[in-house]
Chains A and B, each alone.
Chain A
Amino acid sequence: MSSQPSEAVERRVYNALWWAKVQSAGPLEIDPDTPAVAGLTRAASADGSTVWLVPTLPSGAGHSVLEELDSPPVAVEQPNETARVLAICVACCWTDRSAPAWPGSTGTLAQVRSVYAGMRGRPEQSSDLTLIIGSLRRLHATHWIRWDEKAGEVRLGPRVITWTAADLSTLRDLCRHLPEPPPAVLSTEPPAASPPDEALPDDALPDDAVSDDALPDEALSDDALPDDALADAALQDGPSDELRGEVSDD
């Protein structure tokens, strides 16, 4: 008979395979010539050189349902700290707030550190950097941001292209509550007062020190605590409670 039914089947399999890939690996960097996949949107980087496939869902589907069911998604480690650092990245990288958040601009670790300290309402403490880097790595691994550890620079990740107008308006309010980031000093620009590299000397910050499992296995590392205990610990530190209130206050 005609080739139409098999074309439809082929297209269905093509779509399903791409969806399965995106589900198993997160938003995927693709060849810009890749034909469209139904339901997956394309996020192109600012210079157009890189394109990601990002899943979209119909309204009424997604994580919001889980709260009503009291059936949480896979837990994020250090959830409050991670959410706080994501909010700071949004404030640093979404500079033109009248435009969509994607692709945004490049922010720096120096900016993130400065807003973080301002958010806590005190000078930076030595433990802050460990928490910040841990959160940046977690957010990078899940494609919420793109964190270039060598350059000490951060951009928003392709996932943010799915933020709706309503999400953006909430985030605009949130950014207004955060301390204003200092101007970004990028590594590609002439060196200035505080080069981002200074922020992350390799010897001062071995990988061990900034990973979640900061201590050897034998010692009592985060590893030894169930996620719930971590979440509780994060909830118990005073200033973050206030911040959480502020952050979720729309």
Chain B
Amino acid sequence: MTEQHALFDPLLQDLSDRSRDEVLAAFSAVQYAAHPVAEVQLAGLRDVTLRRQVQRMLKLIGRTLVHVDGTHWTAGYDDDIASSLVAQGWQPLSVIDRAVLVLVLVHSVAIPRSEGILTGDSWKSARPTTVDELRTTRISGEERRLALQRLRAAGLIQLSGDHSGGPSYIPGPQLQRLTPAARRRLQDQLILAAAPASPIAEAIRARTGGPVEGEDA
């Protein structure tokens, strides 16, 4: 017995039982699996028509399909919805959590990328950020510990396999949910914050049309 669902039923009711099951399985997989799922694993992702239905379902809840490495799929926030929420001032992460996350992203991704060790625009990285690199006089040890705990629980960071020098962190699987536009925004923000006077920061300001000088990041 299938209960009514006010949001999804109008989309699902025209599908055969089998298609419905495949669409719902693919929807659940991209929404709730910690990591992107392989396209070959699910008919709802392999079949272009079914995948379009998955995308429609996601669109209804402000999400969109994100293609990862050409072979996997996950779901992230739709760019228009994300920018509306930002415009409303919506921010579920506290300022300390964001600061700690940014430190991990700087050490694990931005620095290796600037050194040419990491290529591409992904926020996946195996370069661990050590606890020493997270130390800052602006955040107390206790605040940092609690922030790390919350960020880990949210899948935004994860423990790196390498703990020879004490615990260290790498970006978590949730970062793979960023759309291409969101990945670029994040990169731009980090450059603006880290090197606001650089020519590349100037180029970003020219492109985005903002006079923003190292805003919050």
* B-binding residues in A (CB < 8 A): 12-13, 15-17, 19-21, 23-25, 38-39, 56-66, 68-69, 71-77, 138, 141-142, 207-208, 211-213, 216-218, 221, 223-227
Contacts and interface: CB of A to CB of B under 8 A. Distances in A.
Given A20-B62, A74-B154, A62 B90 contact: no
B84 to A, nearest CB: 6
Interface in B81-100: 81-82, 84-85, 90, 92
Contacts of A61: 24, 27-28
**Binding site of A, secondary structure by majority: helix, strand, loop or mixed?**
loop
A61 B90 CA distance: 27
B78 interface: yes
Interface in B52-95: 59-63, 77-78, 81-82, 84-85, 90, 92
Given A16-B61, A19-B61, A69-B33, A212 B141 contact: no
Nearest to A214: B145
B140 to A, nearest CB: 11
B62 A16 contact: yes
Contacts of A19: 7, 60-63
B58 to A, nearest CB: 10
B20 A60 contact: yes
B153 interface: yes
Contact of B92 (A25, A68, A211, A221): A25
A58 B32 contact: no
B33 A71 contact: yes
B41 interface: yes
Contact of A17 (B2, B27, B84): B84
B166 interface: yes
